[in-house]
Amino acid sequence: MKRKLLGTFLSVAMMASMLTGCAGSSSAPAATETETSTEAASEEAAPAEEATEAASEEATEAASEEAPAEEATEEAAETTESAGGKVGVAMPTKDLQRWNQDGANMEEQLKAAGYEVDLQYASNDIATQVSQIENMISSGAQVLVIASIDGDSLGTVLEQAKEAEIPVIAYDRLIMNSDAVSYYATFDNYMVGTKQGEYIEKELDLKNAEGPFNIEIFTGDPGDNNARFFYGGAMDVLKPYIDEGKLVVKSGQVEFDEVATANWATETAQSRMDAIISANYADGTKLDAVLCSNDSTALGATNSLEANYTGDWPIITGQDCDVANVKNMIAGKQSMSIFKDTRDLAAKTVEMVDAIMKGTEAPVNNTETYDNGTGVIPSYLCEPVFADVNNYKELLIDSGYYTEDDLK
C-alpha cells in the first residue's frame, strides 16, 4: 500500500514540477516546496497520503498561476509586434528645399524606429497627391502622414482612409474640413509671423521713431492654412503702425489675398516685386522693409531688388533657413530667418506614429487652437527659433544641420 501511495505521490509531484517550470518566476516557491516534499517522502513513506494531498494542491496552484504568466507573455508579444508596420508619408513637392529635408528626416527616423516607409512627393499637383494617398491606403499603410498641397482638397480620399480605419497625421499644414484627421504636428506658425513682425518693429524702432517707413508684404500660398497664421502673427504686430501711418505700403497691397504667393514660388514673388518696384520705387523712393513669410518668397524679393532697386537696402525677413537664404544673410542681403528644425518635427511625428501603432495616446501640447472646420485637432507645436548673421553658426552648423561647406 505504501509503495502504491508513494508511486502516486511521485507522479503528481513530477507533474507539479513541470507546471511550475512553465509558469516562470512567479511559481518558483511552489517548485521549491514540491522538491522538499519529495525528499521527505523518500525518507519516510508513512505520511505519504498527506504529502500526496499537498502535492496535488501545489500542482493546482501552479496551474492557476500559469494562466496570468501566459497572458503577460501574450501581452508582451503583442507590444513587440505592434512596433513596425507600414507608414505612408505624402509630401507636397521637391521644389522647395525644406520639403526635401522634411521627407528625408521623416524617412530616416521612421526606418530607424522599425517601420516600412512609403515616401511620395507630389510635384505640387493636387491630383497626384490624391492618387499617391489612394495607393498608400490600398497598399496597406497603417498610418498616413500628410503635408498637403491644398488643405481643402483631400476630403474624398481621406474618407477612404477613415473607412479603412487608418489614422491621419496632418504634417506642418493643417488639413481642413475633414474629420479623418487624428493629429496635427507643426511649428507654432502664429509665433513665426509674430517674430518676423517684432523684428521689423525693433529694427525700425517703430515704438519711438516718427517715420513714416515704407514696407511691402509677401506671404504664402492661399491654399496653405499656415500662410494665414504667418500673416496673422506679423500683422497683429505691424497693422497698428500701418493704420496710424507710421508704416506705409506704397503698393496699397495689404490684405491677405493681395499679398499671397501661389505655391510659395520664388519666381512669382520676384515677378510681383518687379512690378511693385517699377510702380513705386523706381524714382529712388526708399523701401525700408519687406515682410516675407518664408525664404522662397524672400529670395524672389531679393532677386528683384538686386536687379531693379537702387536705394538703401531694406530689412528682409524670411523663414526656413534655406541654404541660399543663409548665404544671403551672411552677405547682408537678408536680415533674418526663422529656423524650424525639421529634425525636431520629424522626431515628434515619429513619436505620434509610434504611439498610434501601439494603441496609446500620441503626445500633444495644444488642444485649443487648430480647428479644421470639423473640430479642434489635437496638435503638437514645436517652437520656431530666430536666426540671423550673429547666431546662424550655433544654430545651423554646430547642431549639424549644415556644414561650413554647405554655406560657402
Q: Which residues of 367-379 are buried (b: 16+ CB within 10 A; e: fewer)?
A: eeebebeeeebbb
E strand or H helix at 206:
none
Closest residue by Cα to residue 305 from 328, 338, 336:
328
Residues 350-394: tens digit of each pLDDT: 999 999 999 999 999 999 999 999 999 999 999 999 999 999 999
Residue 88 β-bridge partners: 118, 144
* Cell numbers given for 407: 554655406
Rounded Cα distance between 164 and 140, Å, is: 10
Query: Once rounded to an integer, what is the mean pLDDT over residues 327-345?
Result: 96
Q: Which of 28-42, 48-62, 95-109, 326-340 has the lowest mean pLDDT?
A: 28-42
Query: Once rounded to an integer, what is the mean pLDDT over residues 99-122?
Result: 95
Residues 187-244: tens digit of each pLDDT: 999 999 999 999 999 999 999 999 999 999 999 999 898 999 999 999 999 999 999 9
pLDDT at site 96: 87
* Other C-beta atoms lying within 10 Å of the C-beta of residue 337: 30
pLDDT at site 355: 96
Residues 313-325: tens digit of each pLDDT: 999 999 999 999 9
pLDDT at site 301: 98
Rounded Cα distance between 189 and 100, Å, is: 20
Cell 503702425 sits on residue? 241
Is the CB of residue 382 less than 8 Å from the CB of residue 188?
Answer: yes
Which strands, in side-by-side order, build the sheet including 315-316?
247-248, 213-218, 289-292, 315-316
* Cell numbers given for 67: 494562466
Residue 381 β-bridge partners: 186
Backbone angles phi, psi at 166, to 5 degrees: -105, 115
Query: Is the N-terminal amide bond of 212 cis, ω within 30° of 0?
Result: yes
Q: Which of 64-78, 87-101, 140-154, 180-194 has the lowest mean pLDDT?
A: 64-78
Is the CB of residue 141 less than 8 Å from the CB of residue 169?
Answer: no
pLDDT at site 83: 56
Sign of the four-CA dihedral 53, 59, 64, 65 = positive
82: pLDDT strictly greater than 90: no
Name the H helices within 173-317.
189-203, 225-244, 256-259, 266-280, 295-308
Rg (CA), the chain: 33
Rounded Cα distance between 404 and 21, Å, is: 61
The model's pTM is 0.76
3-state SS of 168-201? EEEECCCCCCCCCEEEEEEECHHHHHHHHHHHHH
